[in-house]
Amino acid sequence: MSNESGSYGLSGLKTILIATDLSSRSDKAVARGMALAAAYGAHVRIVHVVDDDQPKSLVEDEASRAADIIEESVAPFAKQLGLKPDIDIWRGLASIAIKTLADETKPDLLVMGAHRRQLLRDVFVGTTVERVIRSCGRPVLMVNLDPAIPYRRAMAAVDLSMHSIDALRFASRVSFLGCKDLAVVHAFLPLADGLMRYADVEQNKIEEYVVSVADEAHAAVLHMLANEGLTALKPELLVEEGAAIDVIKANVAKMKPELIVLGTRGQSGLKRVLIGSVANAVLRDVECDLLAVAAP
């Protein structure tokens, strides 16, 4: 585990909550969360949730073993980093228990491991990390990368909504978790393009229209960044035509950022299943880490 970010003198995070299910995916989250806690001088709390839909004796035995496993596994890192993490073992449904603890402790950042992909179950039920992001109203860092890989480049996906602005504000306040380079990506769709083609409008007129829409989108993003005081960061600004998820994935493949920053709105039930969301698609498809800032 690298602690390179500790040399940045980071500030803005005072408390970090790390959720673990004791899997190798969660081990990455624990290591990354503890490294961030050391870099920011933050207090760290680690939570594991035991499924209580089983005999009570098994629940208590699992809870005891989980506490021992966590204490053993984090002790070397904690000593190395000068941390004294609190360890909580909860009983119940993971997403509900994590939300409840987050509501009680109000961490500045919640860190979780990447979910195990199970296509049909993910579509109709959603993963634990998705449910937590939708329900807890707090910034969530989903960890995919090996924690030894330092954060260098962040890519913020924006759509000019308040959700994007809130995500940028938070990420800026915490120095984009130590990233030194920032790219801002905005996708646009020229809505009249298809109608113009249907009406057999000349190709050069259609191209002029698309360019004008791109220019307007570029100006709008610049205005938003200026209003939030982010132009001083001199981000690379990419305004591209296409569906949001396609533009995001293409730029992730091209730029290979360690971190994606994304604002998201809560959706649940049938609406989420039928409409889906860019955030859910990014959660499931990207291999880098994701900082999702949900609307309260």
What is the distance between the alpha carbons of residues 21 and 159, in angstroms, rounded to a whole number? Answer: 33
Contact 90, 97 (CB under 8 A): yes
Domain end marker among 144, 164, 198: 144
Over its C-alpha atoms, the chain yields an Rg (Å, rounded) of 21
What is the distance between the alpha carbons of residues 217 and 159, in angstroms, rounded to a whole number? Answer: 10
What is the distance between the alpha carbons of residues 224 and 227, in angstroms, rounded to a whole number? Answer: 5
Contact 107, 17 (CB under 8 A): yes
- Would you say how long the chain is, in residues? 296
Domain end marker among 144, 176, 197: 144
Q: What is the pLDDT of residue 66?
A: 93
Provide the CA 53 distance to its chain's centre, in angstroms: 30
How much of the chain is helix, strand and coil, in % rounded to 5?
A: 50, 20, 30
For residue 110, pLDDT beyond 70: yes
Q: Based on the fold, state whether residues 174 and 130 are members of the same structural domain.
A: no
Domain end marker among 78, 111, 144: 144
What is the distance between the alpha carbons of residues 16 and 104, in angstroms, rounded to a whole number? Answer: 13
- State the pairing for strand pair 43-50/86-91: parallel
Tokens 């996906």 identify what position? 157
Give the DSSP H or E segment for 283: helix 278-285
Q: Based on the fold, state whether residues 111 and 197 are members of the same structural domain.
A: no
What is the distance between the alpha carbons of residues 197 and 206, in angstroms, rounded to a whole number? Answer: 8
What is the distance between the alpha carbons of residues 26 and 35, in angstroms, rounded to a whole number? Answer: 14
Q: How many separate domains does the chain show?
A: 2
What is the distance between the alpha carbons of residues 131 and 197, in angstroms, rounded to a whole number? Answer: 41
Q: What is the mean pLDDT of residues 149-169?
A: 91
For residue 136, pLDDT beyond 80: yes
Long-range CB pairs of 72-81, under 8 A, 24+ apart, other chains included = 73/27, 73/30, 74/30, 74/34, 74/46, 77/1, 77/30, 77/31, 77/34, 78/34, 81/3, 81/34, 81/35, 81/37, 81/38
Q: Based on the fold, state whether residues 178 and 270 are members of the same structural domain.
A: yes
CA terminus-to-terminus distance, the chain: 32
Most confident of 163-172, 182-191, 252-261, 276-285: 252-261
Q: Based on the fold, state whether residues 160 and 128 are members of the same structural domain.
A: no
Nearest to residue 41, comparing CAs of 81, 1, 87?
81
Q: For residue 227, what are its two tokens? A: 């209003």
Long-range CB pairs of 70-73, under 8 A, 24+ apart, other chains included = 70/20, 70/22, 70/46, 73/27, 73/30
Q: Based on the fold, state whether residues 242 and 286 are members of the same structural domain.
A: yes
Q: Which domain holds residue 138?
A: 1-144
Q: What is the pLDDT of residue 6?
A: 41
Q: Based on the fold, state whether residues 263 and 192 are members of the same structural domain.
A: yes
DSSP letter (8 states) at residue 138: S
Q: What is the pLDDT of residue 137?
A: 85
Q: Based on the fold, state whether residues 207 and 134 are members of the same structural domain.
A: no
For residue 291, pLDDT beyond 90: yes
- State the CATH number of the domain containing residue 85: 3.40.50.620
For residue 243, pLDDT beyond 60: yes
- On average, the pLDDT of the chain sits at 84
Q: What is the pLDDT of residue 38?
A: 95
Contact 102, 6 (CB under 8 A): no
Nearest to residue 126, comparing CAs of 284, 285, 294?
284
* Three-class SS state of 276: coil
Q: Based on the fold, state whether residues 37 and 74 are members of the same structural domain.
A: yes
pTM comes to: 0.85
Beta bridge partners of 155: 183, 260
Q: Based on the fold, state whether residues 91 and 131 are members of the same structural domain.
A: yes
Q: What is the mean pLDDT of residues 122-135?
A: 68
Q: Based on the fold, state whether residues 198 and 257 are members of the same structural domain.
A: yes
